[in-house]
Amino acid sequence: MPRDTPLLRYLQALHADLAAIDGGAVADYIPALASADPGTFGISIVTVNGTKYSVGDSDHAFTIQSVSKPFVYGMALTDRGVDDVRHRVGVEPTGDAFNSIRVDEESNRPFNPLVNTGAIVTTGLVRGDTEAAQWQRIVDGFESFTGRTLEVDEVVYASEAATGDRNRAIAYLMRNLGMLEGDPETILRLYFRQCSLLVTTDDLAVAAATLASGGRNPITGRRALDERLNEHILSVMQTCGMYDAAGAWAVDVGFPSKSGVSGAVVGVLPGQAGIAVYSPPLDGCGNSLRGIEVCRRLAGDFGLHPHRDRGHPAGVVRGAYRGGEARSTQTRTAAEYACIEAHGDDLTVVEVQGLVRFAEAEFLVGFVVDDPTRSRVVVLDGHRALLVDDHLLPMFAELADLLTAAGRTLVLAGFDAPGIPSGFDRLAMSFAQVDDAIEWWEDAVLATHFTGVGADVARPVTEQELLHGLAGDDLDAVLGALTYGALEPGAHLAREGKPADAVFFLLAGQVSVRLGTSLAPGSARVAAFGGGVAVGELALLEGGVRSASLVADTRVEFATLTVEDFTRISGERPTVRAVVMGNLARSLALRLRRANDRIRVLDR
Ligand code: GLN
């Protein structure tokens, strides 16, 4: 059962509507095609995400005919290279019928690979030492586009081979003009077989969606064609795909497409979807009447003309915030936070989202350069970026240079989507996650500006914020209950799910809070704590079990106060409980405020 969605319902209604179109004529110049049922009508759409929509006779198999031409052109380009192929087949639209015998008089070249003169030459260019090898190459090529095994309609093949005198004439003329190498009969057999491959609209929609996905089949995930050659094919389809109707098509519909005499039309919406229609009755130009109407209606109803204005480059910047507004997950002492926040304008984080193409890159670069704060450090947070066009690497390299010349630093963080070109993260200092970049900046600010005791120096336990305000015998009672310990990097201070029966005062080194059992660097790190800070302190409030693990990132020195001892001391000295709980409440309140700041920043 297909998924019931608005698009499926739309296609069902469209199919019902256009099934009423009468007229046109089923091609009969290949005798076996004349028996096609004019009422057969299928529509399929496959999105670049691989979602398929099929209505009507979408699994009816028919011969691919001229829709094969752009795909075989892609194979020839792959096998011979663009220059070699261009030498023998041009890329100019003709305004002629598909079987026109006219060639470019100056060069003797066929005008383009989508009319028969060019298509027959193109088929001859596909690699293979023998006819069988060439044929295997063609079949494999198609199957990489359809993702399904294909067969030949032997009846249609035999019918065209027996009657295709015009194509035979074309092949011999092409050899006479020096455009076709090898035996014309062999190449004609390959060409007729290629035209007789059996496909459905579901197959052709997958093939078209592959062209819409830069040459990568969205169902199999495998590349069928080099990305640059894919563009090349789409350009030729755009100008030459609809034979002599190409001009009107370009205005009314606009997206690259290809039709064939069996009644198929495929359309490609680059970056969006592939469309395939089958309905045998043809108009005077040899294009499927209903096929054309489906494309016209889709183009009009969904605004699919490729020249529509779709630019919203400002959307590339999701938001920006300063170093004073969002802390890293590295927890600091109150004095350190005060220092970081006082230098907040030293850092700007720009959140980048979606596709970064020419206009978006221009906007993003302008946003950074024009930012009146002129932060010394600018972090581009790319974890919501889906794509950076690889042609724009020099623009970002220039941005890095420009900032450096102004005494500023560009930092990249979180650019790891499949659409990010390799080498992008080498244009500037880069981090796996924006949190790492912010922490790096905070450390740099503290190293330069913090006048208190640094995190690398062990702090006396009496400096712990949780113990502030305790004095005399009260303080001594607590200090007397402490036990001291040390851990090597990677060791657990506490484990998720185990009883929460103690609070740890960190004296030196760093501990991180992690969810799950993985110890991989950066994995599920929720927060990190350094010397002077207490961890696991919620044990004093609720006991129960640990909700996360505490892992030593470096060598850690710490003091432990068990809940049992704390409860005992509190029983003897009620002020200890009051002071410690007051401190705990204050520290939680501060942490909550920072968490809220962060949510506000990330949410806007
Ligand atoms: N096999 C057909 C031919 O060359 C293909 C033509 C087409 O689909 N327009 O005549």
Taking the centre of ligand 1 as the mean of its atom positions, its distance from the CA of residue 260, in whole angstroms, is 6
Sign of CA dihedral 209, 116, 179, 103: negative
Q: How many residues does the chain have?
A: 604
Query: Looking at ligand 1, which atom is closest to the CA of residue 164?
Result: 10
Model pLDDT, residue 517: 57
- Top CATH class of 319-449 equals alpha beta
Sorted by sequence, the CB contacts under 8 Å of residue 372 that are 6+ apart come out as none
Q: Decide: 544 and 557 in contact? Cβ < 8 Å.
A: no
Given the DSSP bridges, would you call strands 409-413 and 429-431 parallel, antiparallel or unpaired?
parallel
Query: Looking at ligand 1, which atom is closest to the CA of residue 160?
Result: 1
Taking the centre of ligand 1 as the mean of its atom positions, its distance from the CA of residue 344, in whole angstroms, is 69
Q: Decide: 341 and 324 in contact? Cβ < 8 Å.
A: yes
| Nearest CA owner, ligand 1 atom 4 | 116
Model pLDDT, residue 368: 96
Correct CATH for 461-602 of 3.40.50.620, 2.60.120.10, 3.30.2080.10, 3.90.180.10: 2.60.120.10
Taking the centre of ligand 1 as the mean of its atom positions, its distance from the CA of residue 143, in whole angstroms, is 20
- For 555-572, b where at least 16 C-beta lie within 10 A, e where not — what string? ebbbbbbebebbeebbee
Residues of the chain where predicted confidence (pLDDT) is lower than 70: 1-2, 243-244, 453-456, 516-524, 604
- For 365-392, b where at least 16 C-beta lie within 10 A, e where not — what string? bebbeeeeeebbbbbbbbeebebbeeeb
* Domain boundaries, given as residue ranges, for the chain: 6-301, 319-449, 461-602
On the question of a common fold for 319-449 and 461-602, the answer reads no
Taking the centre of ligand 1 as the mean of its atom positions, its distance from the CA of residue 44, in whole angstroms, is 22
Instruction: For a ligand 1 pocket test, name from 160, 188, 198 the mutation site with the most ligand atoms within 8 angstroms of its C-beta.
Output: 160
Given the DSSP bridges, would you call strands 42-47 and 347-356 parallel, antiparallel or unpaired?
unpaired
Query: Looking at ligand 1, which atom is closest to the CA of residue 195?
Result: 1
Query: Looking at ligand 1, which atom is closest to the CA of residue 243?
Result: 9
Instruction: For a ligand 1 pocket test, name from 98, 242, 258 the mutation site with the most ligand atoms within 8 angstroms of its C-beta.
Output: 98
Of 403, 383, 386, 378, nearest to 321 by C-alpha is 378
* Distance, CA of 39 to CA of 20 (rounded, Å): 10
Distances (CA, A) of 9 to 2, 39, 43, 265, 589: 11, 21, 12, 21, 53
Q: Decide: 42 and 170 in contact? Cβ < 8 Å.
A: no
* Distance, CA of 476 to CA of 466 (rounded, Å): 15
Model pLDDT, residue 381: 97
Token representation of residue 198: 């059996």
Given the DSSP bridges, would you call strands 347-356 and 377-388 parallel, antiparallel or unpaired?
parallel
Given the DSSP bridges, would you call strands 257-259 and 264-269 parallel, antiparallel or unpaired?
antiparallel
Residues enclosing ligand 1, CB less than 6 A? 65-66, 98-99, 116, 160, 167, 195, 260-261, 286
Taking the centre of ligand 1 as the mean of its atom positions, its distance from the CA of residue 63, in whole angstroms, is 10
Domain 6-301: which topology?
A: Beta-lactamase (3.40.710)
| Nearest CA owner, ligand 1 atom 2 | 65
| Nearest CA owner, ligand 1 atom 6 | 66
Taking the centre of ligand 1 as the mean of its atom positions, its distance from the CA of residue 150, in whole angstroms, is 19
Catalytic residues: 66, 69, 191, 243, 261
Q: What is the amino acid identity at position 148?
A: R
Query: Looking at ligand 1, which atom is closest to the CA of residue 167?
Result: 4
